[in-house]
A and B are shown apart, each in its own frame.
Chain A
Amino acid sequence: MRLQRVARFLILCLIVMSSGIAWQANAEYADVVLNQKSEKEGVRPVIFPHWFHRIRFKCKVCHAELGFKMRVGSNHISMENITAGEFCGACHNGDVAWSADECDLCHSGKPGLKTGIRGGHETMGPGIW
């Protein structure tokens, strides 16, 4: 009984603390977190910065040529794809951009992040609106 109460209290503490942390989050607009497979495979989530890439390539290159669908969660990318030159691997091959052996440069997200796009009007307000 007492143990249960202590556990409940600890969970409450965690919620309070994490809400404090979430409140400080100020991710760059359009940063994408990819964590469908990363943490299950034991690496940090991937953070994809749209801003960095759009300075170098137009939307069409990734979203038409390379086949990235424009909906978060609909691109099931694995390291096999990337080393085979698909998706990120079309450029991240050591030729156009750094190669896939620079793990930490892409897998740089905080553990526990959910897959999704950050900073839009859907995520900034108190609710979905």
Chain B
Amino acid sequence: MAQGIRDKVAILGMGCTKYGERWDCDSEDLAVQAFVDTLEDAGIEKNDIQAAWLGSHFDEVNIGKGGNFLGVTLHLPYIPVTRTENFCASGTEAFRGACYAVAAGAYDIALALGVEKLKDTGYGGLPNSPAFGQFSQMIGPNATAPGMFAQLATAYSAKYGVPMEKIKEAIAHVSWKSHQNGAKNPRAHLRKPVSMEQIMMAPIIAYPLGLFDCCGVSDGAAAAIVTTPEIAAKLKPNQPLVKVKALQIAVSSGEEVAYNNWDGAGFATTQRAAKRAYEEAGITNPREEISMMEVHDCFSITEFATMEDLQVSPPGGAADDILAGFYDLDGQVPCQPDGGLKCFGHPIASSGIRMIFEMYNQLLGRWPEDRAVKNPKFGLTHNLGGVPTANVCSIGIFGLD
């Protein structure tokens, strides 16, 4: 009977570049920076790494296909490198590959690195790409990511009878809170606090989402080195161990896009992945037990809906929790303490590992007082890649020994 990987893997070291419009950096620069920081944090040598997983999403403007980029750029010693691509979960997938390898006993020490260089397209937003294949491109709407996610709002409003005005105010609070947090974070892409009024009055990108409802399109890289708890304890005897409590992925079944049993007001994948992750981590009451979260706020409405899918807010209750400050840094379950995709930025395949980086450092109490979460027990990360009708969700739960 499969038992999952709870407490079978420890994080030995992590690194994350500053996210942003890194006009000064190639993907190689970003990867090297994240790698060097991670290696230093882990306190090991490059040759100690036995296998690597590389996350990257956009072939078109990025590093191309395959694992060669990492081997060649870091001059890894002919070890296995596997590229993972699973939309916005690509980084978490790389991390999962490394963790599973260690948990399986195949390797002692493995590297996961996610890198994405988006700002070479010449235009704002994500690059246009046939993400769902050629047939889908032929018949699918002339859509962008904000428009696909924006539809959650109209469907949610219809399902719960929550007026669009209240949704608009709640999602504005989502972005307001992330800007408050991001402003304090030197690695974040967007570091300016903005007022509720600015957010509410911003030009519409895709109804009802305005400019501040959309996350930053950024360049960046993040990495983790994982090992067994035994080796970690030996290598770092004076430091608490950050362990993987759960890692779960759920991919759409096609029912959301083609069948009539989905409400469009949330994510069928997140609901499944969350249930499995709580089981794996042994969590029975997420609203009480989760201390902090980094969730996939590609758009404020995504974070809004995710609060319910993760069973932290009750169905139909996300707006009330959000507006009550439940997810603010000083609220009961701080969400996006590092600024989230909204302000930290969103280099696609790096984001999952960046979220883990935040949880790891919060758990180790490494952040300054003004952005530290008090006495965290469980930190949750969540990625949502694709579009609401067809997507991948990854959830990670991390905790101290």
Answer yes or no: do A and B interact: no
